[in-house]
Amino acid sequence: MKNKNNLMKKLLILGAMEMHVPLILRAKERGIYTITCDYIPENPGHKIADEAYYDSTTDLNAVLKLAQRLGVDGIMTYNSDPAAPTVAYVAEQLGLPGNSYNAVKTMSEKDLFRKFLFDNGLNVPKCFAPENLDNIKESDFPLIVKPVDSSGSKGVTIIRNISEIHAAISAALQKSRCKRFVIEEYIEPIGHQLHGDGFVEDGKITFLALGDHHFDSSINNLVPYSTTFPSEHSAENLKECKQQIQEFVSKVGFKNGGFNVELRVSKKDNKAYIIDIGARNGGNFTPKVIQYYSGFNFLDRSINVALGEPTENIPTTEKASDFVSYLILHSSHSGFLNNIDISPEIEKRIIEKHIYVKNGEEVEPFFGANAALGVLIMKYESRQVMNDIVDNFSNLYKVEVKTAHRNISPIPQNGYWSEIKLYADKDGVFKELKIFDSIKNQNIRSIDLCVHSGDKVTAFNGANNAIGTLVLKFDTNEELEKVLNNQDEYFKVIVE
């Protein structure tokens, strides 16, 4: 499609992942000239856009120059957290429709966000400044350590004593682009963590749908594999959540557009806490899931906001069900995908199926949202059926993975790999293998144990006494060397 005589409006979309495809297609259906910007050439959105460019979506100046050169009428992202500040910066610099850069930057960097909540009297977990780590007491645990600018739970660690703090900080810094982290109180929730998308017009929330997060604790209790709609929380809790969000939106100056939010209602004080809020719609096709449940049309509203067009006459769409969710297909270990087998109980309720990984391609354990194999959008005939399927999801599909950890360590272009032999430090009965959370969530690629809890083991006196093997992958050689030189801080074979 050609942009003949400049009659078509030009929309610059930051991000070209699978989840951006519905946005690109809808804009093209409306006769809008679509331009994608994403540094990964293989991403599918590039193939369907009218033009594609490969600058990083976090490079403010590069994207600004691109937008200036192309003479775009609007700029937006849909579900990319790192791209949201760039969208605001470029819009502000060029006088395009959008939110203020300061507001979006505050929403995008967790230390700025927490400080804003505190300064403005909103509910905020207890936080510890990096320079005041000595003020942390044993009674403050558990705590959670996070990179300030990473999404998808990458680099996040729950710590339960002071000895774990420095390794958790190191893990957070590895995943932070700006090399900053936050340490804050871990909020034990009443019921499920809440998650959903909303829409703001002229500073007021005009739509909000909150559902319940679900986690696979057998792999990682920080990365959700599902959100179910509607939430089971009480109307009172949901009202307080909306009040907290509205007060924040009003005070930070977020004026128009979609947002994604996570909240917890604390067991300790029964208050609602905003855990995270992003100036973009949610990943895992969350806005599409909500549309099937509510009829609310995020796509057209978001496009209109980006182009400065009115939103009041956008019609709702037909609902698919009163009970919907997304389900993330994921693997518990690394290797190469052989097959994904989905049960009929799942198949007959699928509205949309999005598979990211092909047979034969490498997969990793579900330690971050970027390890998803695919997303299913589901509908259910009742809440009971929904809860039964979501809670039993791991038994309703099977991921067949060919393990190849013996052969992958010589591939330096894929990172820095190490194989570690595990030994007991004394004779006795094997109880468990403890692995520090940040290493388990970020670096472990396979765990092979030759013993089970209750088996007798002998102290190390040679290679034949090995009780198992770990295979680890690191982004840099320095990270690898640090772990290898301090193994006792990261791994512990417990023998009684």
- Determine the CATH number of domain 8-96: 3.40.50.20
Handedness of CA 135, 138, 144, 146 (dihedral sign): positive
Over residues 104-129, mean pLDDT: 96
Helices (H), 264-408: 286-294, 298-307, 344-347, 383-391, 405-408
Q: How many CB atoms lie within 10 A of CB 263?
A: 27
pLDDT score of 490: 83
* pLDDT at res. 208: 98
Within 8 A by CB and 6+ apart from 100, the residues are 88, 92, 253, 255
SS3 assignment for 69-112 = HHCCCEEECCCCCCCHHHHHHHHHHHCCCCCCHHHHHHHHCHHH
Indicate the pairing of strand 33-37 with strand 10-14.
Answer: parallel
pLDDT mean over 158-172: 89
Alpha helical stretches, state H, 443-495 = 477-485, 487-490
Domain with CATH 3.30.470.20 in the chain: 194-402, 409-495
Q: What was the pLDDT predicted at 309?
A: 96
The pLDDT assigned to 25 comes to 97
Instruction: Kindly tell me the sign of the dihedral angle through the C-alpha atoms of 237, 243, 248, 254.
Output: positive
Higher pLDDT, 171 or 212: 212
| Confidence category of residue 403, pLDDT binned at 50, 70, 90 | low
pTM across the whole model: 0.81
Average pLDDT over residues 45-58: 96
pLDDT (0 to 100) of residue 489: 78
CATH number of 126-185: 3.30.1490.20
User: pLDDT class for 461, splitting at 50, 70, 90?
Assistant: low
Q: Phi, psi (5° rounding) for residue 144?
A: -130, 135
Which residues are registered as beta bridge partners of 401?
A: 337
Q: Determine the pLDDT at residue 417.
A: 80
Average of per-residue pLDDT across 375-382: 98
Q: What beta strand segments (E) does 270-372 contain?
A: 272-278, 323-329, 335-342, 350-355, 362-363
Tokens of 472: 């680890």
The yes-or-no verdict on residue 117 having pLDDT over 60 is yes
Model confidence at 405, pLDDT cuts 50, 70, 90, reads very low
Q: Is residue 409 very low, low, confident or very high in pLDDT (cuts 50, 70, 90)? A: very low
80/85 Cα distance (integer angstroms): 10
Q: What is the pLDDT of residues 277-294, one digit of tens each?
A: 999 999 999 999 999 999
Q: Tell me: pLDDT of 425 over 90.
A: no
Segment 394-410 shows an average pLDDT of 69
pLDDT band at 105 (very low <50, low <70, confident <90, very high): very high
Region for residue 438 given its phi and psi (left: phi exceeds 0; alpha: psi -120 to 50; beta: otherwise): alpha
The mean pLDDT of 24-48, rounded to a whole number, is 96
CATH number belonging to domain 409-495: 3.30.470.20
Asked if 106 and 113 touch (Cβ cutoff 8 Å), the reply is yes
Buried b (16+ CB within 10 A) or exposed e, 304-330: bbbbeeebeebeeeeebbebbbbbbbb
Q: Which amino acid is at 135?
A: N
> Does the structure show a pLDDT above 50 at 406?
no
Average pLDDT for 188-193: 96
The mean pLDDT value for 149-176 works out to: 86
Q: What is the pLDDT of residues 431-444, one digit of tens each?
A: 888 888 778 778 88
Give residue 38's pLDDT.
96
**Overall average pLDDT of the 370-394 stretch:** 96
CATH superfamily name and code, 194-402: ATP-grasp fold, B domain (3.30.470.20)
- Percentage above 70 pLDDT, the chain: 95
Provide the pLDDT for residue 410: 39
Percent of the chain with pLDDT over 90: 66
Binning pLDDT at 50, 70 and 90, where does residue 464 land?
low
- Rg of the chain taking only CA atoms, in angstroms: 24
pLDDT value, residue 399 = 94
Q: Where in the chain is the domain with CATH 3.30.1490.20?
A: 126-185
The per-residue pLDDT for range 225-261, each reduced to its tens digit, is 999 999 999 999 999 999 999 999 999 999 999 999 9
Question: In the prediction, which pLDDT does 193 show?
Answer: 97
pLDDT in tens, 1-19: 334 445 799 999 999 999 9
| Model pLDDT, residue 413 | 44
More confident residue, 202 or 436: 202
**In this predicted structure, which of 36-50, 98-112, 323-337, 404-418 has the lowest mean pLDDT?**
404-418
Dihedral sign, Cα of residue 294, residue 296, residue 299, residue 305: negative
Beta bridge partners of 430: 495
If you average pLDDT over residues 22-45, what whole number do you get?
96
Does residue 114 surpass a pLDDT of 80? yes
The residue that leads in pLDDT, 103 or 362, is 103
Average pLDDT of the residues of the chain: 90
